């Protein structure tokens, strides 16, 4: 053994989180992370004949049903399935990560009590699983968009990476936070389900973002434009980013009103950038909380 071998020091103090060192720690255990994701996927589709195809079937059925319904009801909302799915997939990535991530430490209690590894791996693996579904389902959507005749708009598509990155950072920050708190306060997960329900309807996913912007801007409350408050929900600009990237057209030809909020692309990108920076700061904060609390996970479970 080398004399200068690394010395691990364990004290009562929760050591201060040094991001770079911690990222290295987690990265050095990435195989554990990948194995866990693989395990979760296996278990999820165990004994199902179609396996991962179920993941693909979900959006396919969605697209088929909504295309059909929209056609027979002769709805004014053009290419509604594309609009719906571009926002919904992003939402699902976040909400599934949060629900499974919040439980991840508790569900793996036996591992936490018996094995030493960076605890972040557990919520991260929950995100990983949701991400796999997201990628598969997005692939369906990406095929559907040109196939349905809606088509891609390259300029708008360029905002996709920014929206995706922001979504991932925000989701990770929230998931770490909830996972850590849930160990101590188990009612977090029940609260979360309720919260997500409300959150979902306060995010323009199934309804048109323009509609909200229009109504809220025309009816200020006490001189406050509530649209700005509405944008305070970080998922709103994120979902708007995905919709702008994939649905792309603010006002489809033949529509009486815009579908997407009539904001310029640079403005949207700017808001997303702000949300990204804020999410990074939030991530730093929640990671610190997670790290501090994770020293006691084995005891609390």
Partner 1 sequence: MTAAIEVADVSKKFRLFRERPTSVKQRLLSARSRAEDFWALRNVSFDVLEGTSLGLIGQNGSGKTTLLKIVAGILRPTSGVVRQRGRMAALLELGAGFHPELTGRENVYLNASFLGLSRRETDRAYDAIVEFAGLEEFMDNQAKFYSSGMLVRLGFAVAVHVDPEVLLIDEVLAVGDEAFQAKCLERIRRFQREGRTIVLVTHALDTVRAICDRAVMLHQGRVHALGSPDDVVREMRYLLLGQVDEGFVPEEGTREAEIEAVDLVYPNGSTEGPLVRDDPFTIQVDVRTNEPVDDLDVDFEILDGATNHPVLDGRASRAGVTIGRFDGKRRVRFHVSSFPYTAGKYWITIGLSSRETGRLYHVQTQRYLLEVIEVPRVQERVDVPVTIEVEDL
Take residue 233 and report the two structure tokens written for it: 């929900």
- Tell which one of 35, 75, 193, 228 touches partner 1 (CB under 8 A): 35
Q: What is the CA radius of gyration of the chain?
A: 21
Dihedral (CA of 52, 55, 58, 64) sign: negative
Checking phi first, is residue 151 left (phi over 0); if not, alpha (psi -120 to 50) or beta?
left
| C-alpha atoms less than 13 angstroms from C-alpha of 161 in its C-beta half-sphere | 3
- Tell which one of 24, 186, 257, 284 touches partner 1 (CB under 8 A): 186
153 contacts: CB under 8 Å, gap ≥ 6:
248, 249
Task: Give the range of 80-88, 179-187, 199-207, 255-263 binding partner 1 by CB under 8 A.
Answer: 179-187
Nearer to partner 1, 38 or 251 (CB): 38
Tell me if 38 contacts partner 1 by CB under 8 A: yes
- Tell which one of 7, 20, 49, 154 touches partner 1 (CB under 8 A): 7
Tell me if 8 contacts partner 1 by CB under 8 A: yes
Nearest CA among 218, 209, 225, 220 for reference residue 257: 209
Tell me if 6 contacts partner 1 by CB under 8 A: yes
| Per-residue contact flags (x/-) with partner 1 for residues 80 to 119, judged by CB under 8 A | ------------------------------xxxxxxxx--
The minimum distance between CB 299 and partner 1, in angstroms, equals 6
275 contacts: CB under 8 Å, gap ≥ 6:
166, 170, 234, 237, 238
Nearer to partner 1, 24 or 184 (CB): 184
The minimum distance between CB 95 and partner 1, in angstroms, equals 22
Tell me if 221 contacts partner 1 by CB under 8 A: no
Tell me if 299 contacts partner 1 by CB under 8 A: yes
40 contacts: CB under 8 Å, gap ≥ 6:
125, 126, 128, 129
3-state secondary structure of 191: helix
Task: Give the range of 37-45, 86-94, 155-163, 195-203 binding partner 1 by CB under 8 A.
Answer: 37-45
Tell me if 200 contacts partner 1 by CB under 8 A: no
Query: 94, 167 in Cβ contact below 8 A?
Result: yes
- Greatest pairwise CA separation for the chain in angstroms: 77
For 115-176, the DSSP string reads --S-TTHHHHHHHHHHHHHHHHHHHHHHHHHHHTT----HHHHTTHHHHHHHHHHHHHHHHH
Tell me if 184 contacts partner 1 by CB under 8 A: yes
Nearer to partner 1, 11 or 74 (CB): 11
Nearer to partner 1, 22 or 38 (CB): 38
Query: 282, 14 in Cβ contact below 8 A?
Result: no
Take residue 131 and report the two structure tokens written for it: 């991400």
DSSP, res 223: T
The minimum distance between CB 17 and partner 1, in angstroms, equals 15
Nearer to partner 1, 168 or 188 (CB): 188
Tell me if 21 contacts partner 1 by CB under 8 A: no
The minimum distance between CB 5 and partner 1, in angstroms, equals 5
**Residues binding partner 1 (CB under 8 A):** 1, 3, 5-12, 14, 29, 31-32, 35-36, 38-39, 42-43, 46-47, 110-117, 184-187, 295-296, 298-299
């Amino acid at each position: 053994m080398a004399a200068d071998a690394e010395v691990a020091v364990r004290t009562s103090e929760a050591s201060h989180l040094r991001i770079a060192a911690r990222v290295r720690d987690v990265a050095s255990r990435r195989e554990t992370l990948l194995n866990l994701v693989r395990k979760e996927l296996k278990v999820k589709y165990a004994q199902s004949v179609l396996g991962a195809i179920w993941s693909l079937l979900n959006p396919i059925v969605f697209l088929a049903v909504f295309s059909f319904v929209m056609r027979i009801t002769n709805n004014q909302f053009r290419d509604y399935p594309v609009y719906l799915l571009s926002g919904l997939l992003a939402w699902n990535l976040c909400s599934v990560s949060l629900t499974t991530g919040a439980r991840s430490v508790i569900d793996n209690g036996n591992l936490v009590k018996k094995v030493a590894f960076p605890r972040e791996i557990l919520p991260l693996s929950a995100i990983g699983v949701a991400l796999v579904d997201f990628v598969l389902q997005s692939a369906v959507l990406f095929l559907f968009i040109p196939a349905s005749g809606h088509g891609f708009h390259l300029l708008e598509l360029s905002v996709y990476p920014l929206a995706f990155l922001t979504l991932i950072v925000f989701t990770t920050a929230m998931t770490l936070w909830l996972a850590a708190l849930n160990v101590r306060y188990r009612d977090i997960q029940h609260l979360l389900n309720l919260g997500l329900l409300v959150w979902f309807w306060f995010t323009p996913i199934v309804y048109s973002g323009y509609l909200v912007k229009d109504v809220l801007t025309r009816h200020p409350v006490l001189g406050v434009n509530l649209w700005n408050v509405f944008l305070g929900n970080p998922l709103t600009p994120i979902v708007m980013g995905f919709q702008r990237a994939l649905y792309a057209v603010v006002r489809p030809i033949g529509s009486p009103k815009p579908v997407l909020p009539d904001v310029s692309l640079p403005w949207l990108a700017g808001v997303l950038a702000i949300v990204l920076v804020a999410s990074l700061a939030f991530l730093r904060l929640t990671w610190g909380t997670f790290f501090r609390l994770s020293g006691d996970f084995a005891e609390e479970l």
